[in-house]
Structure 1
């Protein structure tokens, strides 16, 4: 099933090395199906495992979606063959304690705890943990949950300085994630119903 795809928001956290080569191959394929790439990671788990995280623009993904993505990316990977040796392909959702790879991820989860590492020194350090308290165009404000003596509780972190970031699993995050997922699935079901009604009306008009 192919959907109309709006211009995809670029990721601010991307891969390096072989992971980057794989991402360059699979991202256009995934986007053509109407999904967004979240992360690519090749690990030594169970021999070699290629994990591809993806989602719909509304943040949802089903088992059937994962199967569709797998069927589409497998031939592309076979042609370019970026991995030496056999590997297991795993398509998955980002999960609740998801990697944060786009500006919109930070905006969507404002008020929740995140841990991250920067590629350069920011406020004399590279590792942070705290609450996303404000999100701008080029940076976001992190309120540290345990600022060291002498440190200001708030620190502004540029998006282009982030090397890796992910949400921290909490009861509040689980509650809000389940609520957002439920709302997104209801909206998707409603949209599918409207599309089916429109298609049925078009068929009636042709008759």
Structure 2
């Protein structure tokens, strides 16, 4: 059921976001305590501000009221994905070349399942990440089909 609600919310949000030149990064529908939350994370070329989030929220709320895909009460939240934006697909990863990333894998690669550093390249099959281990530069070659999660990472 959760998947259907997320898909419906995404479908309803797409024309709103397209008109505003924004993109849908992720959708969550989850219970926290006794309350249900429908969260949409949106972004734009130059990020998003609170006014844009509010505008999307208002328009989407109207569409959700018309379609009524969710039984019971829930809270709608629309926000930026933040500095540690998830990289959900190959095009997200491609656009992140040159940025600091954090990647986890389903299975160990050379004994590690977590990789952090600057994404140097992505050829569709392999992510090339340059990081540091004990003050030495290392280059990780991570097969895309082994990636469990990927996100931008804040570099300190």
CA distance in 2, matches of 1:110, 1:36: 21
Matched, 1:93 2:80: yes
Please, which of 157, 161, 177 is the counterpart of residue 143 of structure 2? 157
Do residues 72 (structure 1) and 72 (structure 2) align?
Answer: no
Runs of 5+ unmatched residues, structure 2: none
Gaps of at least 5 residues in structure 1 are 1-14, 147-151, 172-207
Residues 21, 145 of structure 1: alpha-carbon distance in 2 compared, 3 angstrom cutoff: farther
Give the superposed CA RMSD. 3.2
Question: 3-state SS of the aligned residue for 2:88?
Answer: coil
Distance 1:38 1:125 in 2: 31
Give the match's secondary structure for 1:79.
helix
Provide the rounded CA distance (Å) in 2 between the counterparts of 1:133 and 1:87: 41
Q: TM-score, normalization: structure 1?
A: 0.57
Shift in Å at residue 28 of structure 1?
Answer: 3.0
Q: What corresponds to 1:48 in structure 2?
A: 36
The alignment partner of 1:61 has SS state of: coil
* Contact 1:30–1:73 (CA under 8 A) maintained in structure 2: no
Q: How many residues align?
A: 148
Compared CA separation, residues 157 and 16, structure 1 to 2 (3 A): farther
More strand by share: 2
